[in-house]
Amino acid sequence: MTQYEYPNARQEAPGGAVADSAWTRPAGYRPASRLGALPAGYERLLFDDGARQDPRAAAPPPQTAPIGQGTVEHLLAALVQYNGSDLLVSVGTPPRIRIDGALRVLREEPVTVEESSAYVRELLDDERVAVLQQYRSVDFAFTGVGGARFRGNIYYSKGAFSIALRHLPGVIPTPEALGIPPAVVRMAERPSGLILVTGPTGSGKSTTIASLLERINLTRACHVVTIEDPIEFRFQHKMAMIDQREIGWDALTFADGLRSVLREDPDVVLVGEMRDLDSTSSTITVAETGHLVFGTLHTNDAPSAVDRVIDVFPPEQQLQIRTQLAAALVGVVHQRLYPLPEGGRVAAFEVLVATEAVRRMIREGRTEQLRSVMTTDVTEGMMTLDRSLAHLGLLQDPNVAPAGVDLDLAHPHPGGNGTHT
């Protein structure tokens, strides 16, 4: 655990509280990355020792004895060496890394139950192990050897541990380096309003938002509060003051964090994910009260993000929400990553700017017309995904791997890109 940045120095504090080097939590406190009771029958997975016949279905708890160095580090070093975005570990199959969107086998030997358990113990501190065992999955982020930053999720699959780790950029890239459209950069210069950043999982939403927040950090004397699960990019205080709150540790839920954020004197707020009615309603309220708010959603395009926000609310509230959203919205940014012929990936963007015409369509429930506005009103910075792809010279199917790609790093063929960096 010494190579990862987790609060680990524990001692008993007065009154039974547990203290560490960073803060003091009340006695009995347990992080709540996943709230709610376990489904019926799950309890036996925690306490049934060997009752099931399938050895993979009876994963041991994470090892408590010290383990050797160089286990997870070897896999993470390969992830960084090959310029991969994700590392996936599952019992019974070799570990894989994702390069330019394609999964590649990293070695010949499959991962064993004992290996996966050792990996978990290396990656998690005691509190997160408790969350994992009770709620069957846990989110976390950490800084590895050499300063590389990773976001992770560990979860149970057939009773064994599976791991998904995302490699985060070591340096927050500038908007220009990411190719973020100027209209989006101008959105981030607004003093208030709601900016929605959407896209599928792994499309670079977090990197885009971090880039925009870092631009604010460098240029505005303001207070930024982020509510994340988990904290991904770590910001240093520069011209702005940035406080980052992690769900399960600094706030129990997104809704809880948003309820208290207005008492924390923020100018800019990041909501890591608008997950439910409470967090969505609170996000709109914060944006309405004179703050600049960034929120993320998983949608297929920019116009559907508007419907997604509205549909979270019951029918009797949707007319009021349309009015509130129309007044608060600054714009919607949708993005996807596409492979480049020479290797690597690039982001293509879809931009919906909240002009008066767009606000009127949202208020009147004519969101099906937003696509046509994006196509025609390009002078306001509107952009469709097709237009962005044409600008990049990329119109091929992003789901098709480039010809000649070697998907097996354990047996790279001559001429393949098994050594791609």
3-state helix/strand/coil string of 127-176: HHHHHHHHHCEEEEEEECHHHCEEEEEEEEECCEEEEEEEEECCCCCCHH
Residue range 204-256, pLDDT digits in tens = 999 999 999 999 999 999 999 999 988 999 999 999 999 999 988 899 889 89
Matching CATH number, 175-392, of 3.20.20.150, 3.40.50.300, 3.40.50.720, 3.30.300.20: 3.40.50.300
Does the pLDDT at position 314 exceed 80?
yes
Least confident span in 27-41, 163-177, 246-260 = 27-41
Number of H helices, E strands in the chain: 14, 16
Q: Name the phi and psi angles at 12, rounded to 5.
A: -75, 130
C-alpha distances in Å from residue 18, one per residue of 127, 253, 270, 350: 12, 22, 30, 48
Mean pLDDT of 100-117: 90
- Helix (H) or strand (E) segment spanning residue 297: strand 292-297
Residue 340 confidence (pLDDT):
85
Q: Which residue has the higher pLDDT, 56 or 375?
A: 375
Residue 143 confidence (pLDDT):
85
Does the pLDDT at position 22 exceed 50?
no
Residues of the chain with CATH 3.40.50.300: 175-392
Residue range 324-359, pLDDT digits in tens = 999 999 999 999 999 888 878 899 999 999 999 999
For 390, residues 6+ apart whose C-beta sits below 8 A from its C-beta are: none
Cβ atoms 109, 120 nearer than 8 A: no
Residue 275 confidence (pLDDT):
84
Q: Which CATH architecture has domain 11-32+55-168?
A: 2-Layer Sandwich (3.30)
pLDDT confidence of 360, banded at 50, 70, 90?
very high
Residue 394 confidence (pLDDT):
84
Residue 409 confidence (pLDDT):
52
Cβ atoms 223, 265 nearer than 8 A: yes
pTM for the complete prediction? 0.72
Mean pLDDT of 195-201: 94
Residue 41 confidence (pLDDT):
34
The residue assigned the tokens 């501190």 is 125
Residue 20 confidence (pLDDT):
34
The percent of residues above 90 in pLDDT, for the chain, comes to 60
Bridge partner residues of 268 (DSSP): 224, 292
Mean pLDDT of 15-25: 35
Mean pLDDT of 168-177: 91
Residue 72 confidence (pLDDT):
85
Least confident span in 55-64, 68-77, 345-354, 369-378 = 55-64
The percent of residues above 70 in pLDDT, for the chain, comes to 77
Residue 3 confidence (pLDDT):
34
Residue 66 confidence (pLDDT):
31
pLDDT confidence of 101, banded at 50, 70, 90?
confident
Q: What is the full DSSP assignment across 368-390?
A: GGHHHHHHH-GGGT-B-HHHHHH
The C-alpha atoms of residue 350 and residue 29 are separated, in whole angstroms, by 43
Residue 205 confidence (pLDDT):
95
Residue 421 confidence (pLDDT):
28
The C-alpha atoms of residue 107 and residue 408 are separated, in whole angstroms, by 8
Measured CA angle at 168 (ends 308, 405), to 5 deg? 90
Q: Give yes or no for a cis peptide into 230 (omega within 30° of 0).
A: yes
Mean pLDDT of 100-109: 89
Q: Which residue has the higher pLDDT, 396 or 372?
A: 372
CA quadruple 209, 214, 220, 222: dihedral positive or negative?
positive
| Most confident listed range (17-31, 94-108, 218-232, 246-260) | 218-232
Q: Nearest to residue 105, comparing CAs of 411, 399, 402, 417?
A: 411
Two tokens at 200? 């599928």
Residues of the chain with CATH 3.30.450.90: 11-32+55-168
Does the pLDDT at position 411 exceed 90?
no
Mean pLDDT score across all residues of the chain: 80
For 370, residues 6+ apart whose C-beta sits below 8 A from its C-beta are: 302, 303, 306, 352, 358, 361
Mean pLDDT of 55-84: 60
Residue 73 confidence (pLDDT):
84
Two tokens at 323? 């009015």
With H, G, I as helix, E, B as strand and everything else as coil, classify residue 420: coil
Residue 2 confidence (pLDDT):
30
Cβ atoms 303, 352 nearer than 8 A: yes
The C-alpha atoms of residue 197 and residue 174 are separated, in whole angstroms, by 17
Two tokens at 418? 């098994």
Does the pLDDT at position 1 exceed 90?
no
Residue 6 confidence (pLDDT):
31
C-alpha distances in Å from residue 134, one per residue of 43, 229, 246, 289, 313: 8, 18, 19, 38, 31
